[in-house]
Amino acid sequence: MPARLLSTVRGFVFDLDGCVWNGSVLNPGASELLAALHRGGRALGFISNNSRATGDDLRELLHRLGVGAARHVLTPLEIIGEVIRQRFGTARVLVVGAPEMAAVIARAGHELVDVKDYRAATVVAVGNDFDLSYERLTAAARAVAGGAPLVTPNVDPRLPIEGGEFLPGCGAIVEAVAVAAGVRPIVVGKPEPPLFRMALERMAVPPAAAAMVGDSIPSDIRGAKAVGMLTVLYAPEGRTDAPARRADAGEADLVVGSFAELSSLAGVS
């Protein structure tokens, strides 16, 4: 039944890291599938848990890689400043993460706190930090242990890159802070509902007429199912962490081994 339903889906939302691309290289068949879906009148959306780039940044990258149909692209940086405001008001935020994340939090009206002044923080925001130091990790953990809520774009443990390799993901850093402080983080991105709902709203497609395509069961599949979308697990052969090899792959409505297979099931060419 899910395979037959896929040919009637009006909109597809794709995960980016590990699904559409690895690093800055498109996965095999991604460009062809996305072009075919666009030609066939299907709405397209893209959701990434990237904590270092905005949707505009990733849309530009998709365009440079030849995915001209990319229009609706979202990351947690679109909403993290507003989430902090809604939950905690205007805050003094200690940011452990990329300058891009600090910038969007500041643009939302929050005051940024220096690592050395961690005791003044009323919120701690932790993203993937390529300049992570023990000092920064310690400051974040101490601020959270002292009562500042811990907010993060995602808890994904790995960031897939080219050649089948990976970098430690945002979740690996957040977990270190959370364990040291004895708290659990507030997650802004997938699998929480806001980004899924925003993508569907911009695509003008209801959840029941949309499919989520992603390679992560915890963030893509469970998150999309929670908002009522059809789910497609992208699990190509040859990946050592291929989700299809795990028992929980059955949580997805469909499992595909390639974008060519998905193209056939979606009825496009």
Q: Would you state the structure tokens that stand for residue 66, as one six-digit string?
A: 């030849």
Count other Cβ atoms within 10 Å, centred on residue 174. 30
Q: How far apart are the first and last CA of the chain?
A: 21
Q: Would you state the structure tokens that stand for residue 238, as one six-digit string?
A: 């040859």
The one catalytic residue among 15, 156, 215, 220: 15
The sign of the torsion formed by the CA atoms of 155, 102, 177, 90 equals negative
17 assigned to active site: yes
- Three-class DSSP category at 71: coil
Instruction: Give dist(CA 201, CA 195) in Å, integer.
Output: 10
Q: What angle do CA 86, 92, 95 make, to 5 degrees?
A: 95
Instruction: Give dist(CA 150, CA 183) in Å, integer.
Output: 8
DSSP structural state of residue 27: P
> Which strand (E) or helix (H) includes residue 230?
strand 230-234
Of 116, 108, 211, the residue nearest 151 (C-alpha): 108
The one catalytic residue among 17, 129, 156, 220: 17
Q: Are 155 and 189 in contact (CB under 8 A)?
A: no
156 assigned to active site: no
Q: Which residues are catalytic?
A: 15, 17
